[in-house]
Structure 1
Amino acid sequence: MSKTTEPPATSSVPKPLPNPSTGSANPSASLQALWGYLQPALDHIVRSPTNNASKAPAIEVSYHMGIHTAVYNYFTSQSDTASATPPPPSIPFTRPDRANASGTDLYEQLDRYYADVAREIFLGTPHDDANLIHYLVPCFSRYSAGGQSVNRLLNYVNRHYVKRAVDEDKGWLRLVDVLDAVAKSIHEDANREKIQKRLRERRSEELKKWGYADGGSPEMLAQAEAGAEAASPPDRVVPLNSLAHRQFRIEVIDPLLAIPKAKKGKKRKPPANSEKSPMPKGRLARAVKELLEGEGGNVDERRRIAGELAILLRTVGIRVDHPLRKKLDKYVEPSVV
């Protein structure tokens, strides 16, 4: 009997994507033209299958530079025509009410793109709870690596649009969010410097809810702010990396955390002498329970997966006091999360 020979293993790491030919077309002529030039790179970076989930596929240097130039030229042309009459609603890829805000249309297009990718991940979730976390963790690792790569690729959007929007009080924490609390601690004769100091203190108080401590390192501050950005409502302007994580929370994690509504006439009484809550749980909560309390399996591997899920929840903006985060944080070593 001859021995079956298995085909040699092949690498699934995609080659760097070359710069597509645009002919005489100008990629910065309109959002539609710019998006047509950008999307192949985004799909390659975010969607391409790879055997290294922690590192996004690359694009060639010429394509990278071409994207930077096209985005720069597009923003510049928008700024030059900011006072022009907004285009009619019939033109695709435009928002007439936002036309004068340079970069808003591209930012919103990226937001929709991440929502579509995250929704695809959600639609691919396995039906059984036992495999849910094993699917979710590597999918998020791949998605997050892609988001970080796009964040670097389109950093001009962060520097030109996001920074300006935050300066205009459109960021994750707005003046109206803290105004009441700040007003109570400010006297009528307080000067501008005192008000600004109190606002900074209030911001620091918010960041402490995301793991920041007074005197913490810049890395700790950045991590806390990224969590707060990902947890913010969709109308808040945040850096592109946090934008990707926020959509993962909205499209994937929030539905998995949702508690199913009980059917009418099907109320169940808790078992006699049972300390367990009869309340229904969301899919992710059931999957975590099976992961942490299931029989058999390697304890170290179980703790590793639980730690990665805890990091996932923190990264996408699930608050530290959420029951599922508290359960995971208690199970894994503190140094992991």
Structure 2
Amino acid sequence: MSSSDSKGKGKEPASLPPLPGPASGSANPAASLSALWAYLLPALNHIVKSPTNDSHKAPSIEMGFYAGIHTACYNYFTSQSETKSNARTAGEPASGTDLYEQLDKYYIDAARDVLLGAPQDDSTLIHYIVPCFNRFSAGAMSVNRLLNYVNRHYVRRCAVDEDKGWLRLNDVLESVAKTITADDSREKISERLKEKRTDELKKWGYRVDGSGVPLASAEACAEAASSPDRVVSVSSLAHRRFRTEVFEPLLAVPVVKGKKTKNKIPKATGAPPPLPKGRLARAVKELLESKGGDEEERSRLVRDLAAALRMVGVRPDHPLRKRLDKFMASPSRLGLHGVGD
């Protein structure tokens, strides 16, 4: 920036320094869930909620604190595993379930804070939601790396070994069972199940020949689209809660209340009145149909919103996603950004 450009403008606030760990003491953070959560919470708040200049990059924590969290999680899971029998009784939760559920509650509260801060004016809603989601998602991805041991020890075991992931055997058994015969080997049945999983991932843009989105990206969307009872990665857990606590309320169509008149014959007056729309649909309509303004900014908002809806698991056939995709694919929009944008 030239000196003339910077005249009259205040300095941008300095980036947040890495968060140091708590003062060392005698308390063992792995002694209990409450102790571990008290140790984790300052880091989570710093990474997920602290204000930052770059909504695409989460604030960091000091390496010593980072390593301490890894160690505390490892020790906590190890101590839980040692106190439980390897062959758990039916219905007994796996070690780490309590921490995973606590994380879910944390993301519920964080997402609800975003919704509570949403402006009442539809014309500014998307300008608010897009950077909020980008900031939330950046924090979620950073926490996903920080709590990688939770993914490796708890999520992978529950999803794969215990069939509690985003796609379960019961979800595909009916469709696969129709093509299975008594002579089929276990390997052939397993192959049929893999084919069904691939078909589900194709709905999120994955292509076997590599022409679509990466496998990990498609699976993350499928995880976020799953119901809250499914065990998914820590990042997908956060994105799923942004969908249930922010986007779904904004997508909800308001219920029209009116007095019913008995024995009244409706009049044929031509086309029926337009159906009510949810807040986000109204905001998108206003953004797309507004005249003038910065076209590049509008296209950026549309692209970012479309990406956010996909990441949180809003289905590809949802009317709002289809409208955004149609807008981005229109010839008048293609010239505003490159293929790689």
Does 1:286 find its partner at 2:286?
A: no
Partner of 2:324: 328
Cα displacement (A) at 1:9: 1.9
Q: Deviations over 1:138-163 (max 9, x none)?
A: 00000000000000000000001000
Q: Deviations over 1:205-264 (max 9, x none)?
A: 111111111222796211111110000000000000100000000000000000000112
Separation of aligned partners in 2, 1:193 and 1:277 = 56
Q: 1:129 aligns with which of 115, 122, 132?
A: 122
Contact persistence 1:230–1:317 (CA under 8 A): yes
Does 1:300 find its partner at 2:296?
A: yes
Q: 1:309 aligns with which of 268, 284, 305?
A: 305
Separation of aligned partners in 2, 1:264 and 1:236 = 39
Separation of aligned partners in 2, 1:332 and 1:270 = 40
Partner of 2:81: 79
Partner of 1:32: 34
Partner of 1:94: none
Amino acid at match of 2:209: G
Contact persistence 1:231–1:317 (CA under 8 A): yes
Contact persistence 1:82–1:100 (CA under 8 A): no
Q: Deviations over 1:96-121 (max 9, x none)?
A: x9765111111110011011000000
What pairs with 1:191-206 in structure 2 (closer than 5 Å)? 191-206=185-200
Q: Deviations over 1:297-333 (max 9, x none)?
A: 1222211110110000000001111110000011114
Separation of aligned partners in 1, 2:11 and 2:91 = 51
Cα displacement (A) at 1:82: 1.1
What pairs with 1:249-288 in structure 2 (closer than 5 Å)? 249-265=243-259, 278-288=274-284
Amino acid at match of 1:291: L
User: TM-score of the superposition, structure 2-length normalised?
Assistant: 0.88
Contact persistence 2:166–2:222 (CA under 8 A): yes
Separation of aligned partners in 2, 1:270 and 1:291 = 35
Amino acid at match of 1:37: Y
Amino acid at match of 2:62: E
Distance 1:221 1:277, change over 3 A: farther
Separation of aligned partners in 1, 2:229 and 2:267 = 42
Q: 1:166 aligns with which of 159, 162, 168?
A: 159
Does 1:319 find its partner at 2:315?
A: yes
Amino acid at match of 2:309: L
What are structure 1's unaligned runs of at least 5 residues?
87-96
Distance 1:294 1:332, change over 3 A: same
> Residue 310 of structure 1 aligns to a residue in which SS?
helix
Separation of aligned partners in 1, 2:267 and 2:222 = 37
Cα displacement (A) at 1:11: 1.7
Separation of aligned partners in 2, 1:8 and 1:271 = 62
Amino acid at match of 2:288: L
Cα displacement (A) at 1:13: 2.2
Does 1:104 find its partner at 2:97?
A: yes
Distance 1:30 1:130, change over 3 A: same
> Residue 252 of structure 1 aligns to a residue in which SS?
helix
> Residue 142 of structure 1 aligns to a residue in which SS?
helix
Partner of 1:16: 18
Amino acid at match of 2:72: A
Separation of aligned partners in 2, 1:26 and 1:98 = 29
Contact persistence 2:203–2:316 (CA under 8 A): yes
Does 1:118 find its partner at 2:111?
A: yes
User: TM-score of the superposition, structure 1-length normalised?
Assistant: 0.89
Contact persistence 2:223–2:313 (CA under 8 A): yes
Cα displacement (A) at 1:188: 2.0
Partner of 1:56: 58
Separation of aligned partners in 2, 1:332 and 1:202 = 30
Give RMSD over aligned pairs: 2.6
Distance 1:98 1:140, change over 3 A: farther
Partner of 1:93: none
How many residues align? The count is: 321
Partner of 1:212: 206
Cα displacement (A) at 1:265: 2.6
Contact persistence 2:207–2:213 (CA under 8 A): no
Partner of 1:152: 145
Identity %: 61
Amino acid at match of 2:127: H
Amino acid at match of 1:27: P
Q: Deviations over 1:55-91 (max 9, x none)?
A: 000000000001000000000000100139x9xxxxx
